[in-house]
Structure 1
Amino acid sequence: MRYVKVAILVLIFFFSMLFFVQNTELLSMSLSLKLDILGNHFESREIPIYLLILIAFVVGAFISLFYFLAEKIKLSKQLRVCKSKIADLEKEVNSLRNMPLEEERFSTDSETTGS
């Protein structure tokens, strides 16, 4: 499985580099981002398109990193709760196993038939 992941990452890197090499002229063009909201006008400096793509990639990577980190913390807590519940149930089973049986006579099938 590890080799498949590495192969997929190499393919993604290869196609990304191929994309950037074939579109260098277009990606080097600059653009400015504008925002009009409630009468306020905001405009950014001119930035190259490749920088905008790179920033979007990095922001997406950090958002997914924080999401998966929060998910891991949640699952670790759930695992800890389940392990403690299992330990409590194992203690209960062991205590029931070691409990002495009462000295009552139980009838068996051979006793009921009268043999």
Structure 2
Amino acid sequence: MKHIRAVFMILFMLVVIIVAVQNYEAMSTAVKFRVDFLFFQHETAEMSLYLIVVISFLVGVIFSALYGITERFRQKREIKRLEREAREKDKELNSLRNLPVTADDVNNGESSVSP
């Protein structure tokens, strides 16, 4: 499985390199971003599209990582809650197992079972 994954990673990187080389001229175009509100105006310095793509990718990775971390903590909290609930149920079950059986319990149990 490790070898298959490595082959796919190599193929993916090869495709990325081919696309990057073929689109070098288009991606090296310099662009500016401008924000124009009534009370706020801002224009960025010229940046290449490569830089914008890399920054966008990194922002996506950061947001995905933050979401993954918060989801992991939520799941850990849920696991602890469920483990605590399971321990409580085990205690209750053990306490019910240790109750003595009386004659009334036996008679009630036999009358409810049909022959």
Which category of TM-score, normalised to the shorter sequence, fits these structures? 0.7 to 0.9
Q: How far apart in 2 are the matches of 1:88 and 1:14? A: 55
Q: How far apart in 1 are the matches of 2:84 and 2:3? A: 37
Identical aligned residues as a percent: 26
In structure 2, list runs of 5 or more residues that go unmatched.
Answer: none
Residue 9 of structure 1 and its aligned partner are, at CA, apart by: 4.1
TM-score normalised by the chain length of structure 1: 0.80
Residue 6 of structure 1 and its aligned partner are, at CA, apart by: 4.9
CA RMSD, 1 decimal = 2.3
Q: Which residue is 1:106 aligned to?
A: 107
Q: Which residue is 2:77 aligned to?
A: 77
In structure 1, list runs of 5 or more residues that go unmatched.
Answer: 110-115
2:63 is equivalent to residue 63 of structure 1: yes
Q: Which residue is 1:26 aligned to?
A: 26
TM-score normalised by the chain length of structure 2: 0.80
Amino acid at match of 1:50: Y
CA deviation map 1:27-55 (0-9, x unaligned): 11111111111153211111111000000
CA deviation map 1:5-36 (0-9, x unaligned): 55554444332222111101111111111111
